[in-house]
Amino acid sequence: MQVHPLQRRPFWGKVKMNNEELSGDELREGLLAWFGENSRGLPWREHYVPYQVWISEIMLQQTRVQTMLPYYERWMARFPDAPSIAGAPEDDVLRLWEGLGYYARARNIQKAAKILVKEYGGEVPRNFDLVRKLPGIGRYTAGAIMSFAFNGDYPAADANAGRIFARLFDIAHPSGSKEFAEAVWDAATKLLPRGRSREFNQALMDLGSLVCLAKDPVCTQCPVSDCCAAFQRGLTGVRPVKAAKKVVTQIVRAAAVMLKEGRVLIRKRPASGLMPNLWELPGGDVPESISPEQAIKRIWLEELGIRLGPLVSLGVTKHSHTSFRVLLHAFLCNGDSPARSLETGPHMRWASLNELEKLAFPSAHRRIIKALRERLAEP
């Protein structure tokens, strides 16, 4: 990667943070020069359409750029503007989001789109306070939208920028803490070059993605290493300070696929709680005292009134959430006559294999559906 040489400047325009003082002008000019030669070509950067900037920022929350790009392209093909998503069925929205996780983001996009259509003519308002009031948009995202879409003088301190500032100023607060967030926001605000926030904030993001990496940062290619307190002190490997690890709980669950005349019995998850309103294959938690096979038979009998016959394994899938991991046992089953009449409706239905592709499922259940298709395709 070609890196623009940092032009040494007199130490004027100084910025002081956490008892560290550096030349703000030197840092700004070094970053902007580097960004001019090394910026990433991302689709929402072509014209900085406010709607596209907004969607990209929501998708990038807790998601890598390379992971979200295919989702972004499919989203724009289906929902090119706020009115198109405001009037779309929620199932269509969730299906396009499937696999990105944190489905509240997609629901908040649709809620915000409806507000944009009703109150702002379908356009993102050019006002920080109004943008921040939209569902799913906090201080950082509002700053990013104002900065990237309108080149407004607002900081946009994402995780990459936070890591850079933690190293530049040797910030010792644990990442994820309120003190860390405020220190980063303060640094981003003080260093922001007026009239060039779009370039500066994106330079921070790209430097964090390409050079100032979380592991093994390439400090020899950094245009501002001369300004970096952590680099000078040999502390880049321990900045930012890691937050205490959360205890991760493992949950064992079981789900069953019942086929009837080429259709599969599915149900919709509750409107509140984990992954609300997504479709799933009926199942539940497996107590420690019994096997997954015993658990799924008990669940189907008690909840659906169906006494299951022999079970055929469709495999075991793993799925990680923020604070827990799920081990999901899947079975293909036959059912005897229901112990009571099975009622279908908005939250319980039979769906063809083709219909399953149009509905949104948790990632683990989508893998079960794939395993089912593969099994049915066998001789």
Distance CA 125, CA 52 (A): 13
Angle, alpha carbons 243-249-255 (nearest 5°): 140
Question: What is the per-residue burial (b if ≥16 Cβ within 10 Å, else e) of 165-202?
Answer: bbbbbbbebebeeeebbebbbbbbeebbbeebbbbbbb
CB of 37 closer than 8 Å to CB of 88: no
pLDDT of residue 321: 76
Distance CA 231, CA 235 (A): 6
Note the pLDDT tens digit of each residue in 56-97. Answer: 999 999 899 999 999 999 999 999 999 999 999 999 999 999
Note the pLDDT tens digit of each residue in 235-279. Answer: 999 999 998 887 888 999 999 999 888 899 999 999 888 888 999
Q: Any bridge partners for residue 92, and if so which? A: none
- H or E stretch including 352? strand 348-352
**Residues spanned by CATH 3.90.79.10 within the chain?**
249-377
In angstroms and rounded to an integer, the radius of gyration of the C-alpha atoms of the chain is 25
Average pLDDT (36-42) is 95
Average pLDDT (152-169) is 93
Q: Position 223: which residue type?
A: P
Which of 33-37, 216-220, 225-229 has the least mean pLDDT? 225-229
Sign of CA dihedral 276, 282, 287, 291: negative
Decide if pLDDT at 23 tops 70.
Answer: no
- Phi, psi dihedrals of residue 164, rounded to the nearest 5°: -65, -50
CB of 260 closer than 8 Å to CB of 353: no
Residues catalogued as catalytic: 57
pLDDT of residue 65: 94
**Residues spanned by CATH 1.10.340.30 within the chain?**
14-238
Q: What Cα–Cα distance (Å) separates residue 199 from each residue in 43, 226, 341, 346?
A: 16, 21, 63, 48
Q: How confident is the model at residue 346 (pLDDT cuts 50, 70, 90)?
A: confident
Decide if pLDDT at 339 tops 50.
Answer: no
- Phi, psi dihedrals of residue 349, rounded to the nearest 5°: -155, 165
Q: How far is CA 331 from the centre of its chain?
A: 30
CB of 60 closer than 8 Å to CB of 210: no
CB of 361 closer than 8 Å to CB of 98: yes
Which of 14-28, 169-183, 185-199, 217-231 has the least mean pLDDT? 14-28
Q: How confident is the model at residue 25 (pLDDT cuts 50, 70, 90)?
A: confident
Average pLDDT (364-376) is 92
pLDDT of residue 274: 82
Q: How confident is the model at residue 229 (pLDDT cuts 50, 70, 90)?
A: very high
Looking at the domain that runs over 14-238, which CATH code has it been given?
1.10.340.30
CB of 166 closer than 8 Å to CB of 184: yes
Decide if pLDDT at 7 tops 70.
Answer: no
Note the pLDDT tens digit of each residue in 186-201. Answer: 999 999 999 999 999 9
Superfamily of domain 249-377: Nucleoside Triphosphate Pyrophosphohydrolase (3.90.79.10)
How long is the chain?
379
CB of 117 closer than 8 Å to CB of 82: yes
Distance CA 104, CA 57 (A): 14
Cis preceding-peptide flag for 240 (omega within 30 of 0): yes
Decide if pLDDT at 11 tops 60.
Answer: no
Distance CA 138, CA 143 (A): 9
Report the percentage of the chain scoring pLDDT > 90: 75
Note the pLDDT tens digit of each residue in 96-125. Answer: 999 998 899 999 999 999 999 999 999 999
Q: What is the mean pLDDT of the chain?
A: 89
Q: How far is CA 295 from the centre of its chain?
A: 33
Decide if pLDDT at 377 tops 90.
Answer: no
Q: How far is CA 150 from the centre of its chain?
A: 24
Sign of CA dihedral 219, 169, 60, 42: negative
Q: How confident is the model at residue 176 (pLDDT cuts 50, 70, 90)?
A: confident
Q: Which residues touch 35 (CB under 8 Å, ≥6 apart)?
A: 199, 200, 202, 203, 206, 207
CB of 186 closer than 8 Å to CB of 17: yes
